[in-house]
Amino acid sequence: MGTLRATGFCALLTAVLATSAFAQKAQTREGFWIGFGAGAGSLGFGGDATTTNRETGLSGNFRLGATVSPHFLIGAETNGWTDETAGVTTTAGVLSAMGYYYPMVQSGLYLKGGLGFLAVSDNADINQGKAAGMAAQFGLGYDFRVGRNFSLTPYANYIASTGAELKLDGSATGVDINPNIFQMGLGVTWH
């Protein structure tokens, strides 16, 4: 229930910020940038383990990079997800090379995409599971400029992996589980 509240809060905050009348600072993008965020996420599986069940949990990201032009930024991004159920903690982590595209220079709206690596594991006493594979990430967000070099950044990401073979207690199973993550959160960005 806590994750649903966090997701609802993030959605409400995004709507309030998007429709509020507070004065935004001018959008400038140049040089080095860095940001991080936190929120809620859900983990699902594809491949040979296709199921409609998704696990909800806490999620976040850290990103940094350089400005190529006012329309385009490049960088590296890490994303994480975790949940504990019945004493077993499941975690997922992603490292990606990313591109961020701002269609309108005067707006904070951006679209992003990139490629990387996704790994998932649990800490079960018996049949400890792990899987890792190549991943693609797509997302969007909005930089609400609240200071000359500082923005509040609501975001949504979808990350999907391929070739992630399940290993139980270190032994290959021949089963691809291909984890995927959906994230929503609120971040901060320094430009």
State how beta strands 165-168 and 171-176 pair.
antiparallel
DSSP characters over 119-175 = EEEE--SSS-EEEEEEEEEEEEEE-EEEETTEEEEEEEEEEEEES-EEEETTEEEEE
pLDDT number for residue 8: 56
Q: Is 80 left (phi over 0), alpha (psi -120 to 50) or beta?
A: beta
Q: What is the mean pLDDT of residues 142-152?
A: 93
Q: What percent of the chain lies above the pLDDT cut of 90? A: 75
Average pLDDT over residues 11-30: 58
Tokens standing for 94? 């992603």
Please give the residue that has the higher pLDDT: either 12 or 181: 181
> What class, spelled out in words, does domain 2-14+31-190 have in CATH?
mainly beta
**Domain ranges in the chain?**
2-14+31-190
